[in-house]
Structure 1
Amino acid sequence: MSADIYKKVRANPKFAELEGKRSRFALLLTAIVMASYYGMMMIVAFAPEVMRTPISTGSTLTIGVPIGAAIIIGSWLLTGWFVNRSNGEFDTINNEIVREATK
């Protein structure tokens, strides 16, 4: 692309909108994932008895296993949400910006 097209893209108010929406969304999802991972690590470090509590009496499976699995599955779901929104809303705005810049 030429420098002229880059200038048109940067000057387009939709570009600032796209940049803001995408950044806020990515930061929100990052905060959710980081809080869940670090929250679990803090519990493991400072209250390990919580994570080693059996799910039921006589069970060898502890509460930490489903919590860890939920964090992993939740992270996958959040990634899917980001990809879905990126391929929908964000790509639509991006295509409009490119169309306007190449006029």
Structure 2
Amino acid sequence: MDERQVDQILQNPKFKEMVARKSRLSWTLTAIMLFVYVGFMLLVGYNKEFLMTSFTGGVTTIGMPLGLSIIVLSFLLCGVYSYIANKTLDPLTEEAMREVKAIANEKGQH
């Protein structure tokens, strides 16, 4: 593949849309996870008493399910990414790849 073909691929509207949508989705999910995780760390650093509070006077504190929920959230966000990628991004990727293959095949015709 020569430089002209690479430029054609990079300027292809389908390819640009695919890259933009994947980037927007991944940055959004990253921001959600980062916000939750940093929020939990700030809570640990500045309000330990709240996290050490027991639900019912037993040994289970508020901090334990909060910490567990962060782990569950990371799995859920992975599932959200997979679902969106399979339903909307994969068809867009296939369209972009068809156009990329057509551009790559042009070389044989010139």
Identify whether the pair has TM-score above 0.5, normalized to the shorter chain: yes
Query: What residue is the counterpart of 2:69 in the other structure?
Result: 70
State the identity as a percent.
Answer: 33
Equivalences for 1:21-40 in 2 at 5 Å?
21-40=21-40
Give yes or no for contact 1:5–1:102 (8 Å, CA) kept in 2: no
Runs of at least 5 residues in structure 2 that lack an aligned partner in the other structure = 103-110
Query: Superposed, which structure 2 residues align to 1:58-97 within 5 Å?
Result: 59-97=58-96
Aligned length: 101
Residue matched to 1:98:
97
**What does residue 15 of structure 2 align with?**
15
The answer to whether the 8 A contact 2:18-2:89 is kept is yes
Higher Cα Rg: structure 1 or 2?
A: 2
On the 8 A contact 1:52/1:64 being kept in 2, the answer is yes
| Unaligned stretches of 5+ residues in structure 1 | none
User: What is the TM-score with the length of structure 1 in the denominator?
Assistant: 0.89
CA contact (8 A) 2:22 2:89 kept: yes
Contact 1:36 1:71 in 2 (8 A): yes
Root mean square deviation of aligned Cα? 1.4
